[in-house]
Amino acid sequence: MESLIQQIYEAAIIAEKWPSLLEEVGERFHSRGALLFTLAADGTCWRGGGAAADFMEEFLSGEWMGRNERPARVRALGRPGFVTELDVMSEQELLHDPVCEQFMRPRGFAAAAGTYVPGLAGEDIMLSVEGFCDYDAARAAVPALDALRPHLARAIQLADQFRLQTMHGHVQALQAIGAAACVIDARGAMVTANLRFQDELGTTFREIGRALCLQHRRAQQQFAGALARLRAKDFSGCSIPIRARPGPIRVLHVLPLAGAAHDLFARADALLVLTNPGRCVPVSAECLQRMFDLTPAEARLAVMVGSRSATLAQIATEAGLSINTAKSQIRSVFQKTGTDRQADLVRLLIGAGSICTPVDGGAEVRRT
């Protein structure tokens, strides 16, 4: 058992070791693998080892989790140890339970032993050893699993803490270069924030419940859309212009974090960076295209308009465009960036450039 305990604490530090650890737990207890998962408001995040990993993939893709009563019953029982199906459901219930009858039993996963560990974000992380040969075998494994549980619980909470410290390091590094930044989960709840970002609460941002909202109506609509995409596991990211009256346009960058799709420790789904409009770092066409979903032609025109003291007609001639094409493209740029005139666009591009690759800045065309 000592080697298994050593593997448990290694996984706390090296997240990539969880699948092999969970597979080893399954083998040690003569089951088909083990799972860690959390039932978050934005969906199930999990890690698995052994045949249990394939089982979980199929279970979630078939949308069986929403019909699965076991996790809620285990939590309601409140027992600080491992429990089996027979501790939370009667034999008659198990016989007629559609999840067990139609999915688990035919695949050899009817019997399991599970427990829960409180996470830092207030969400319980479930640990389940899956695929015992029968309910008696699952019950027989409980005493040994309970002896292992303190180590597993500490490892889970350590992994949670390490992830949180990593995120805190990200936002502190951004503060050092003058950027307001925070890490959020997919519901918009703050995980950690630097002091510059905290200073924006009550002005640029407010909290409803635990969820961040933008004070600016149009920007909030875009932010809500970005959160919806995160919950749908779309990690494309976006940049949101925020018009402050009085004050310059600022840009909120929503940057999905690598590995967030299956991250069940210190749920960190995206980094928010509010650019400082006073930092004169212009933006490249390529970066602008990525940030505001512009076409390549729109991005090139936006950079030209923002970098020249010239009329739109002059810029169109220089770019080899008809005036009608240039007008159509600049209207689309204004719409996508939330600006109305070139002066606003220039300020926006300079602010956006503070976390991107540079080009130049410049003059005055209004939306028509």
Model confidence pLDDT, tens digit, residues 25-79: 999 999 999 999 886 655 677 889 999 999 999 998 888 988 998 988 998 898 8
Residues in the chain with pLDDT < 70?
39-43, 120-122, 177, 244-248, 258-267, 276-284, 287, 290-292, 308, 338-340, 343-344, 346-368
Residue 292 lies inside a defined structural domain of this protein: yes
- 276, 308, 339 - which closes a domain: 276
- Residue pair 357/284 in contact by the 8 Å Cβ criterion: yes
Secondary structure (DSSP) of 176-224? HTT-EEEEE-TTSBEEEE-HHHHHTBTTTEEEETTEEEESSHHHHHHHH
Domain range spanning residue 189?
Answer: 177-276
272 and 286 fall within a common domain: no
Whether 165 is covered by a domain: the verdict is no
- Which of 281, 280, 294 lies closest to 337, judged by CA? 294
Q: How far is it, in rounded angstroms, from Cα 127 to Cα 21?
A: 12
CB contact at 8 A, 257 and 268: yes
Tens of pLDDT, residues 164-218: 887 888 788 778 767 889 999 888 989 889 999 999 998 899 999 889 999 988 8
* Whole-structure pTM value: 0.64
Beta strands in 220-300 (DSSP E): 238-243, 249-256, 270-274
Residue 310 belongs to a domain: yes
**Degrees to nearest 5, angle at CA 304 with 299 and 308:** 155
Structure tokens at 12: 């706390």
Instruction: Supply 45's token pair.
Output: 């995040």
Considering the domain architecture, whether residues 124 and 221 belong to the same structural domain is answered as no
206 and 218 share one domain: yes
d(Cα 178, Cα 233) in Å, to the nearest integer?
30
Domain count, the chain: 3
